[in-house]
Structure 1
Amino acid sequence: MGVRSAAVFASVGVLALLWLARVPTLPKGNYAPSPAADWSKAVDDPKERLILNWRGNFAFPSAKPGTWIQRRIEDRFNVSLKPVFLDGGAYKNRLPLMYAGGNVPDVNWDGDPLQLRRNIREGYVTEIPYDLIRRYAPTYMRTLNGIGKEAWLYSRFEGKNYGLPTFSANGVFSFPSVWRGDWLREAGIAKVPETLDEMHEAFLAFRKRGPTSYGMCPATDWPVAFVDIFVAFDALPQDFVVRDGKVVWGGILPEAKQALTLLRKWYAEGLIDPDFSSASAVSSSEGNPLERKFRNGATGYYYAWANYGDFDPKVPGSRLSTMRQSLGAKVDLQPGKPLVGPDGKRRARVWGGAAHVLWFGPDAARHPEKIVRVLRMLETFATDRDAYLESRIGKRGEHWEWSPERGVYLLPPYDEAGVGKRDLLDTGIEGAFGYFSPSSLSLSETRSLLPAGADRFRETYANPAWGIANAIGKSDVAPSAGRYLEDLRQFQTTTYVGIIRGDLPLDSFDGFTKEWLARGGQTLTDEANAARADAERVYAAVGAAP
């Protein structure tokens, strides 16, 4: 469970930046007034049927109104739901025009702070007091505080709260790496590599298989390409991290230069597929082109979005099953732990439990009982596991089933590619991509639904104790991120690729760090430190532990 959710999660930042490029920008400080609700009128009569126009996330572009999940929620909460389904392209192109034309749904989902902040500036978003959330969704609020309190920074703008943050319980887990176990055995390597030196030895052996065989090609696009190598040096190259009590950008630290030095050496030795610098990880009808390098047998190592079920040949559609179908029964896949770095410590990048933001439009401000009803819905999902499961995967026995071997799985025909999505079915119940229930349950609530062995697998290969997340949740919490962040990321990517390929001297990293700060990076760093300081006030206001 959770692989599709993780892949969608990773694509949010890319789509956010594309979306922002389409929206007109108001002059700085010249904001349209946000809709104001009269909370004294926020009295919700459960007997009154409310209409809720609902624009959820873009994970279900082929869905149609009237699904079983929609009807069940309507009956349970006495609402009439009017869902708005968008794919990534419509999210980028159509949504800004829809909003500008005055068609802002009651309930809206935004993946990142940049998107929400732009909508606030355009006057689309209703301010929501913390006390209102505490009153009508206290369990939801406590669970959020325990799993992803940083998400309160996502909904915060100029000292006010503009939405209901969401959370993802499985965000504390990293992803195991995937190794071709048959390649390792053929090379006489008895165990899966756990250190950089052992990885190097394996890659040298893989290269001897032939001119088109490589050790690795990052199976994800920047900004997280090669993060498995960088984090071994205690560097998160595209995240803010804490050093000596201060927030700094991980991509300009000396540890990042150490990782680049190693990658440069490996590239010169022919261990890294040269397509890493030009291929895109954005999925197409044929799948992720970088992942295909591994699936087609060109590389012997893979790091991105793998989980317990991927290594089970009995699970239809697992990574192992799929590769055996195309490459033969000899294929063996083995999970790998995060690498032990030069300092002897094992680390892994994690997303963290903070996810996204659900926010309310102008009509909901005029009818605050709609907001109260939604809060009550999410409180129910946080306290009633059966209601939550119905909102995510439908009816047991009709849409899904459970077994010790497979955990939660979809029944035919919903298990066919794309069919389940049309009915809003999402087996990633530990993630944050349900359409009407955009947060997860706690891990204690989902543990009994996992396949047998999944807990042990996580403890062995994705232990949360190894995890390092962005110091402020997401880098675009910084107010000036819309002005500087994408340019800085592109600048960093170009520099990193040049250094790894040998097109730029290694010492160019020093000039890069200075220019990164000068072209807006220092401003973002200052704002990130201010956000971290502000977080203490926010956590106190919402009752979260500091």
Structure 2
Amino acid sequence: MVKRSKKIGTALLATTLALSLAACGSSSGGDQAKGGTSADGKSGEPAKLTHLTYWVSMHSAAAAQMKTYAEMGMYKELENITGVKVDFQHPPTDAAQAAEQFNLMMVSDKLPDVIETSWIGYPGGPEKAIQDNKIIKLNDLIDQYAPNLKKLLEEHPDWKKQVTTDDGSLYMFPFFRGGEKVRVFYGPAIRQDWLDKLGLQKPTTIDEWYTVLKAFKEKDPNGNGKADEIPLYFTKDDVGIDAPFLGAWGINYGFYQVDNQVKYGPIQPEYKEFLTTMNKWYKEGLLDKDFAAPNDKLFDAKMTGNQLGAAPTYNGGGIGKYANLMKDKDPTFNLVAAPYPVLNKGDKAIWGQKDFATNGIGAAISTSNPNPIETVKWLDYAYGEKGSLLFNYGKEGEAYKMENGKPVFLPEVLNPPSGVSLQQSFAKHNRSTWSAPFVLSDDFQMQYLALPNQREALEIWSQPTGERKMPLVTPTKDESSQYASIMTDINTYRDEMFLKFIMGAEPLDNFDKYVKKIEAMGIEDAIKIQQAALDRFNKR
């Protein structure tokens, strides 16, 4: 839940693993593993798993304090329990460099044993990764050797639908958000102390936002006698994440659906209205002049430097983070959630951030793995009762203690020293504030959202209907290359023109030319591919 990194955790599991990994799995679905089948499929003693290579991007909250996930309390304890030493392979934290490394890795003959990523983004989707002989199909292995995940999928057929390919393949141990409370974690935030100082109400419509932002610009709410306030910060990436502000016009920055009919937001007439509004705000100095070049450290400096009035942000990695960073520096600092804006007072917001049960991230077993059965058992531990505690919280006694049958984080974890974010504090012990192959629990979330402002944010940001959001569909092998070819060019052009229209480098009178160019680039073919994928998803 860091400002620009929409990766958040997972965890809700239910089994014990008292033996080493060689024996961690049970066909009965109980807690104890009883031995099983060797990796070559013959009956007898199971192969002893002692070592795994595991490729996964490292979250910034962890990277700030460790070189590898192997140093995290959760994984150190998992090694003690299972006897399996994990050699984590982390790509650079820069997203573009990580993507490049992933692509290079996937053309190699020798892959890591486990690869954790967003498989929805694999060219052709996860089914293509199976057909390419990069990862293994897991249906039979999960059925025989992963009783915890098997039970979970049987109990939640809607979850299973989201992690199954159109051809019926299971391909990963997924990250799941177990309940409604852990699926909403992002939205518009505003300085309530600035509103109070200027006698203003929290804005709900685009027009009310304009009034508030003008006041932030002109009436010195930070009280330093300088016109240094930045009323609003948002970037192209923010617009792309469930459409704060843009969603007021009923569209988003990509594909959406209305009554199962796919549409593309950036060519709709409403998109021109949004751009016109943002161009006006930019001209009047209401948008941060640096919005075209996002920079996390600069954003932090502006927020903690008492310059920034409002921004879309995360609940833990935003509202909670800055409350902790500012609690000693400025006790009056009060960043709170604002509703997703609408056009007309009283309208119900359609667009807002709310994840599905899964976000497409999960751990797949590569075809290079010599011990797939034992790796399945190792991964399944996370979905059992003891594994759930470990993945959600960390090691008992170091990160949490049991009170009245429930895990409760220790005070030193929940109250880190000033200058250390709560997310960083948790990252020493677990991956629950971003993602991992486990089930994130509501109980964890309600401890993570320790502040009243955070719990209020959960309520406020849960209001939009989300009715137009596309599910996590995937193109077929044949559609994939055509779709990628079309959308790579369109996305580049769309992003370029987004900036030019708002900053005034391109007149809005040229919007129709822009739409015609996107049409000429093949958007209708891309819409047809998305429509076919949606139709297949609905038939899963």
**Same fold (TM > 0.5):** yes
Counterpart CA distance in 2 for 1:143 and 1:251 is 39
Q: 1:172 aligns with which of 180, 183, 188?
A: 183
TM-score (normalised: structure 1): 0.74
The offset of 1:249, in angstroms, is 1.6
**Change beyond 3 A, Cα 1:240–1:131:** farther
Partner residue, 1:373 = 377
Q: From the superposition, tell whether residues 198 and 260 of structure 1 become closer, same or farther in structure 2 (CA, over 3 Å).
A: same
CA contact (8 A) 1:349 1:468 kept: no
* Amino acid of the structure 2 residue aligned with 1:516: I
**2:113 — aligned with what?**
106
Hey, what's the Cα distance between the residues in 2 that align with 1:308 and 1:64? 19
Q: Which residue of 1 aligns with 2:294?
A: 280
TM-aligned CA distance change 1:71 to 1:46, over 3 Å? farther
Which amino acid counterpart does residue 184 of structure 1 have in structure 2? L
* Contact 1:164 1:358 (C-alpha < 8 Å) held by counterparts: yes
Following the alignment from structure 2 to structure 1, what is the Cα–Cα distance between the partners of residues 87 and 248?
Answer: 47
- Is the partner of 1:82 in helix, strand or coil? strand
CA distance in 1 between partners of 2:212 and 2:475 (Å): 38
Given the alignment of the two structures, is residue 358 of structure 1 paired with residue 363 of structure 2, yes or no? yes
Alignment of 1:530-545 (within 5 A): 530-538=532-540
- TM superposition shift of 1:392: 4.6
Q: Does 1:298 align with 2:303?
A: no
* 2:150 is the counterpart of 1:141: no
Q: Give the CA deviation at 1:39.
A: 9.9
Q: How far is 1:425 from its partner?
A: 3.6
Alpha-carbon spacing, 1:127–1:174, altered in 2? closer, same or farther (3 Å): same
AA aligned to 2:294 is S
1:314 equivalent in structure 2: none
Residue 195 (structure 1) aligned to one of 205, 227, 244: 205
Q: How does 1:83-232 map to 2 (within 5 A)?
A: 83-88=88-93, 91-92=98-99, 94-98=101-105, 100-115=107-122, 117=124, 120=129, 123-135=132-144, 136=146, 137-142=149-154, 145-146=157-158, 149-153=161-165, 161-169=170-178, 172-189=183-200, 191-208=201-218, 209=220, 211-218=227-234, 221=237, 224=240, 227-232=243-248
The aligned counterpart of 1:241 is 256
Q: Is the 8 A contact 2:39 2:371 kept in 1?
A: no
State whether residues 5 and 432 of structure 1, in contact with CA within 8 Å, keep that contact through their aligned partners in structure 2: no
Looking at structure 1, the residues matched to 339 and 244 of structure 2 have their Cα atoms a distance apart, in angstroms, of 10
Contact 1:44–1:369 (Cα < 8 Å) also in 2: no
Q: Which deviates more, 333-342 or 109-118? A: 109-118
SS at match of 1:183: helix
In the other structure, the counterpart of 2:465 is: 466
Counterparts of 1:338 and 1:146 in 2: how far apart (Å)? 27
Q: SS at 1:9's partner residue?
A: coil
- Cα deviation for residue 108 of structure 1 reads 0.8
SS in 2 for 1:304: strand
Q: Measure the CA separation in 1 of the matches of 2:515 and 2:43.
A: 54
Structure 1 residue 265 and structure 2 residue 285: aligned?
A: no
- If the length of structure 2 is used for normalisation, what is the TM-score? 0.74
Distance 1:134 1:524, change over 3 A: farther
Note closer, same or farther for the CA distance 1:183–1:103 as it changes in structure 2 (3 Å cut): same
| 3-state SS in 2 of match to 1:203 | helix
Q: Distance in 2 between matches of 1:72 and 1:290?
A: 36
2:135 aligned partner, one-letter code: T
Counterparts of 1:459 and 1:422, CA distance in 2: 21
Matched, 1:73 2:78: yes
Looking at structure 1, the residues matched to 505 and 195 of structure 2 have their Cα atoms a distance apart, in angstroms, of 32
CA offset digits 1:472-527 (Å, max 9, x no partner): 32788972443233332221122122222233232322222232232132232111
CA contact (8 A) 1:178 1:336 kept: yes
RMSD between aligned alpha carbons? 4.2
Determine the structure 2 residue equivalent to 1:254: 269
> 1:445 Cα shift?
7.6
1:363 and 1:81 mapped to 2: Cα distance?
Answer: 16
Q: How many pairs align?
A: 481
Shift of 1:179: 1.6
Aligned to 1:519: 521
Contact 1:192 1:336 in 2 (8 A): yes
Q: Is the 8 A contact 2:135 2:365 kept in 1?
A: yes
Aligned partners of 2:44, 2:452: CA distance in 1, in Å?
Answer: 45
CA gap 1:93/1:251 in 2 versus in 1, 3 angstroms: closer
Matched, 1:382 2:383: yes
Q: Distance in 1 between matches of 2:303 and 2:473?
A: 29
Q: Which amino acid aligns with 1:150?
A: Q
The correspondence of residues 12-51 of structure 1 with structure 2, limited to 5 A, is: 41=41, 48-49=48-49, 51=51
Conservation of the 8 A alpha-carbon contact between 1:176 and 1:336: yes
Residue by residue, what CA displacement relative to the aligned partner does 1:73-105 show, whole Å, maximum 9, x if unpaired? Answer: 245445443333343257355555555553311
Q: 1:52 to 1:117 in 2, by over 3 A?
A: farther
- 1:463 Cα shift? 1.5
Contact between 1:69 and 1:423, CA under 8 Å: does it hold in 2?
A: no
The aligned counterpart of 2:438 is 439
Structure 1 residues 266 and 101: alpha-carbon distance in aligned structure 2, compared to 1, 3 A threshold: closer
Contact preservation (8 Å) 1:177, 1:337: yes
In the alignment, which residue of structure 1 is the partner of 2:398?
Answer: 398
- How many angstroms does 1:298 deviate by? 2.8
Paired residues of 1:399 and 1:414 also in contact (CA < 8 A): no
Structure 1 residues 119-147: Cα deviation after superposition (integer angstroms, max 9, x where no partner): 83894523315354345331332466445
How far apart, in 2, do the equivalents of 1:455 and 1:84 lie? Answer: 34
Letter in 1 for 2:193: D
| CA distance in structure 2 between the aligned counterparts of 1:445 and 1:250, rounded to whole angstroms | 35
Does the 8 Å contact 2:206/2:341 carry over to 1? yes
Query: What residue is the counterpart of 1:479 in the other structure?
Result: 480
Offset from partner CA, 1:240-268 (integer Å, 9 cap, x none):
21124311222222222222222222223
Q: Quickly say closer, same or farther: Cα 1:298–1:148, change in 2 above 3 A.
A: farther
Q: Distance in 2 between matches of 1:167 and 1:49?
A: 26
Distance of 1:183 and 1:388 partners within structure 2: 41
What is residue 320 of structure 1 aligned with on the other side?
323
Distance 1:265 1:52, change over 3 A: same
Unpaired stretches in structure 1, ≥5 consecutive residues: 11-37, 312-317, 539-546
Does the 8 A contact of 1:266 with 1:272 survive in 2? yes
Residue segments in structure 2 that go unaligned for 5+ positions in a row = 9-37, 221-225
Map of 2:348 onto structure 1: 345
